[in-house]
Amino acid sequence: MLCFDFAITLKSTALLYVDGEYIFMNDFDWHSDEITSNTPVTKSYKNTQNVRRFLKNICGPDFTFNREFMAWIKDGSHKTMGDVALEWQRRNEK
């Protein structure tokens, strides 16, 4: 299991420092790479089944995408997948 020490974004390319190595996230595969709460939302972000599985696991079986939420995810502001999950939960409090 990888340990994410920190994540930063440099000119729309996310850089992770993982187990003593820097990894550029422009090569992140949203279809198959492991998504964690620390995974930064990159310029190449896509709403994939892998993302849906991650968010259903965190947010519960009622998780769904809607256009407004998808636009917020891709608005260019710096966020992680943990931030995405928290925002969905905030928007869907009962």
Q: DSSP letters of 58-69?
A: HH-TT----HHH
- Per the structure, the count of domains in the chain is 1
Reply yes or no on whether the pLDDT at 72 is more than 90.
yes
Residue 4 forms beta bridges with which residues? 18
Residue with the larger pLDDT of the pair 29 and 71: 71
Query: Rounded to an integer, what distance in angstroms lies between the CA atom of residue 21 and that of residue 46?
Result: 25
Contact 53, 34 (CB under 8 A): no
Coil, helix or strand at residue 12? coil
Query: Rounded to an integer, what distance in angstroms lies between the CA atom of residue 41 and that of residue 19?
Result: 20
What's the pLDDT at 44?
A: 87
For 35, the domain range is 4-91
pTM of the model: 0.74
Write the pLDDT tens digit of every residue in 2-56.
Answer: 444 444 444 445 566 655 666 665 677 899 989 999 999 988 899 999 999 999 9
Which residue in the block uniquely carries the two structure tokens 């995408």?
65
What's the pLDDT at 17?
A: 62
